[in-house]
Amino acid sequence: MKLLTIGVIEPIDGFDDRLKLEFDLLREEGLGINYRKATKDNIRFYYCYVDDDILLKANNFDKLKQRFISCVANALSDIIINHWEPILIRRIIKENYFYFNRTEQNKIYEFAKALLNYNEVSGKYDISFQIKRKTFVLHRIQEFLSSNSLIILDGFVNFRLKEYIMQLEDSVDLAIDEFLMDKEYREFIKLLRHFVDLQEPKRDLVNVVFTSNQIILMDENLNFIERDSSLDLIAKENPDVNMDDITVSTLINIAPRRITIHGYNGSEKREVANALYNIFEGRVSFCNHCDICVKCESFTKK
């Protein structure tokens, strides 16, 4: 008996294997589900059948069908998340932000993909967001298959998953903001790098010491380097400027030939370390084993 027909217009690598995996699981449960394929009008159809003898033995056909639908929905929701989601994101970018060139659109795509699974609380990738999207899609497929014996996957994605697509659109909108801020930041860093290159170095070496609560600047003789008093005045008058900004500005004014960063653990004040590395391109090195590094926690400004 035929239970379901699945139609696929867009070629999908691994579709057969993913469907077969679910059907193999059903067979292990004693449910003989098979399918045959046929192509008509550029649509590949999968005709799914259950063995008649299984139906004769089954006490509850509705229960069997529900189990079958759950397995199919599991396979199709995986395919939508893994295959269709990248296609949909790129389509949204291309249609709504066509004025960006291809390279820029690719960067926006990467931002959107990252934001979809970004946990703002932990600041890390969180697969639970992908699982939530899959669960939402899976339930929509189950609802549809409970009253339909034919599903054209491409049409289902485009016309039955509006809420899911809206979520992708929201991620793209946020990605645009991230992309523009990143672009502005890179242009600013490039400007500062050019300014540093034009400066005559005032010191050969500056040691930048990361402590638990501040950043200390020292010369090659381990003498403390005072921050520019005019910059401190600017900081007092402008609450948006913090001490890290003052430290970076001081280094830009000094324009040392070399910078050695001590005590950096890769997490705290990452933005400062990244900024220094990018502004003073080729001049920055990291050290985690010298006497300064060992004692950096005990450094205090005198």
What CA–CA distance (Å, rounded) separates 161 from 138?
11
DSSP state of 297: G
Nearest CA-CA partner of 87 in 144, 12, 138:
12
The string of pLDDT tens digits covering residues 17-43 is: 999 999 999 888 888 888 999 999 999
What domains are defined for the chain? Answer: 2-191 (no CATH), 201-298 (3.30.420)
Decide: 130 and 142 in contact? Cβ < 8 Å.
Answer: no
- 207 pLDDT exceeds 80? yes
Cα angle value 48/142/173 (rounded, 5°):
120
The β-bridge partners of 125 are: 118
> Binning pLDDT at 50, 70 and 90, where does residue 65 land?
confident
Average pLDDT over residues 58-85: 89
Task: Give the global pTM.
Answer: 0.81
DSSP state of 7: E
Residue linked to tokens 């509006």: 162
Q: Which residue has the higher pLDDT, 107 or 220?
A: 107
Could you give the count of Cα atoms lying within 13 Å of 270 in the half-sphere of its Cβ? 4
Which tokens in the block code for residue 158?
Answer: 């485009």
> Binning pLDDT at 50, 70 and 90, where does residue 151 land?
very high
- The whole-number pLDDT of residue 55 equals 63
Other C-beta atoms within 10 Å of 19: how many?
A: 20
> Binning pLDDT at 50, 70 and 90, where does residue 265 land?
confident
